[in-house]
């Protein structure tokens, strides 16, 4: 009998920025369990210890085979550097397919390079749309979905967006949410008491994060949020693990000039999820945190005018509040005195990574 030829080339995962790591870990694990050859490429888009290295051990991710060290820059500079470095990487170590995650600049850069080299592309977390093209992530999402070969989708609304864009249904797979796989796997380690004592918190508290360019890149926008967050801190202690982007501006505008508001460094995954789990209220402009609070059943006020994750509102605990200080104050008051019903969105069951691995092997082959 002639043996079936085995493609020795690896699946290559591209990660670069903090939210990529939690999304990639379950896919890498599930492909590993099937004995599939893999290579992990870190672009270096995020490089601070607290934004990158700290996650690998905790999430049980292998060390990346290579870190391209691309770093920060304007969108043109960063995306250009990413494309140059990724093309060299894919030419030197030919992938059987690449797997890209979410909507960061590393995601779209890898997809563009692979498409032009004729390498199959799988996009995990496809189809999300805020319909706000001023968001860099929206551009990254639309472009990546247009050129990826296989689209792994977290919610029914995202399937509909892809269909509306004329994408062939044969390319789409509704598989669930790998970021939630990671949450459910590590949830037994979440320890509210430990993080509260580490951060000197006692009793009820709220937690917040801010990093979107629309919120922190101008004094005018940031000042409104400082006012809104101070009004929340008037009600209960507020803790902010702050992303490096915008921290300087927010501090200059007096964010930490409130007795009950404290800024801390970005936290590792388990500590941060523990902090969210124990919070009475979360305020954020992050995408992933809208999903994580839905699963944790913690009220989330999203400090944006739109969301690409409406399932967190229809099924979960998320409410779109915007950035007006009066609206933030009123929404916080409401959330603290009412309880929100929440349901788990379909297929957010901890098995998305396994579904993706099974499908990748079948679709791309090994």
Q: Which residues bind ligand UD1 (CB under 6 A)?
A: 17-19, 45-48, 51, 72, 78, 103-105, 136-137, 211, 243-245
- Angle (nearest 5°) at CA 348 between 148 and 42: 45
- Rounded Cα distance between 80 and 115, Å, is 16
47 or 174: CB nearest ligand UD1: 47
- CA distances to 190, 218, 276, 309, 330 from 334, rounded to whole Å, are 27, 29, 19, 22, 6
Q: How many helices (H) and strands (E) does the chain have?
A: 16, 13
Q: Tell me the closest approach of the beta carbon of residue 83 to ligand UD1, in angstroms.
A: 14
46 or 224: CB nearest ligand UD1: 46
Nearest CA to 47 out of 14, 19, 71 is that of: 71
Q: Tell me the closest approach of the beta carbon of residue 101 to ligand UD1, in angstroms.
A: 11
Q: Tell me the closest approach of the beta carbon of residue 275 to ligand UD1, in angstroms.
A: 16
Going along the chain, which residue ranges are E strands?
11-15, 38-42, 66-67, 97-101, 121-126, 150-153, 172-174, 206-208, 238-241, 261-264, 281-284, 300-302, 318-320
Distance of CA 246 to the CA centre of its chain: 18
72 or 164: CB nearest ligand UD1: 72
Q: Tell me the closest approach of the beta carbon of residue 78 to ligand UD1, in angstroms.
A: 6
Looking at 161, 211, 230, 243, which residue is catalytic?
211
125 or 329: CB nearest ligand UD1: 125
Q: Is 211 a catalytic residue?
A: yes
Neighbours of 49 (CB within 10 A): 10
For the annotated catalytic residues, the residue numbers are 211
């Amino acid at each position: 009998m002639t043996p079936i030829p085995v493609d020795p080339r690896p699946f290559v995962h591209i990660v670069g920025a903090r939210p990529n790591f939690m999304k990639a870990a379950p896919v890498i694990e599930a492909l590993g369990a099937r004995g599939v050859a893999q290579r992990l490429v870190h672009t270096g888009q995020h490089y601070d210890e607290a934004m990158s290295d700290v996650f690998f051990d905790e999430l049980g991710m292998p060390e990346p085979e290579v870190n391209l060290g691309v770093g920060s820059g304007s969108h043109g500079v960063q995306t250009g550097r990413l494309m140059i470095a990724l093309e060299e990487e894919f030419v030197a170590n030919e992938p059987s397919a690449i797997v890209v995650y979410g909507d960061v600049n590393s995601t779209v850069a890898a997809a563009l390079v692979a498409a032009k080299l004729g390498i199959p592309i799988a996009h995990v977390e496809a189809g999300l749309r805020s319909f706000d093209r001023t968001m860099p992530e929206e551009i990254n999402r639309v472009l990546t979905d247009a050129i990826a070969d296989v689209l792994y989708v977290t919610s029914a609304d995202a399937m509909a967006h892809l269909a509306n864009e004329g994408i062939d249904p044969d390319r789409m797979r509704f598989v669930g949410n790998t970021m939630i796989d990671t949450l459910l796997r590590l949830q037994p380690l979440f320890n509210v008491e430990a993080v509260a004592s580490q951060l000197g918190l006692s009793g009820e508290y709220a937690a917040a994060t801010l990093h979107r360019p629309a919120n922190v890149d101008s004094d005018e926008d940031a000042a409104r949020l400082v006012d809104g967050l101070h009004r929340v801190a008037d009600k209960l202690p507020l803790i902010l693990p702050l992303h490096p982007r915008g921290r300087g501006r927010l501090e200059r505008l007096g964010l930490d000039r409130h007795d009950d508001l404290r800024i801390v460094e970005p936290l590792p995954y388990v500590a941060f999820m523990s902090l969210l789990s124990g919070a009475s209220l979360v305020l954020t402009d992050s995408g992933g945190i809208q999903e994580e609070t839905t699963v944790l059943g913690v009220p989330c006020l999203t400090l944006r005018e739109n969301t690409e994750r409406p399932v967190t509102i229809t099924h979960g605990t998320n409410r779109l509040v915007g950035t007006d200080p009066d609206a933030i104050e009123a929404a916080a008051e409401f959330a603290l005195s009412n309880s929100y019903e929440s349901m788990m969105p379909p297929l957010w069951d901890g098995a998305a990574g396994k579904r993706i691995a099974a499908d990748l092997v079948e679709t791309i082959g090994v």
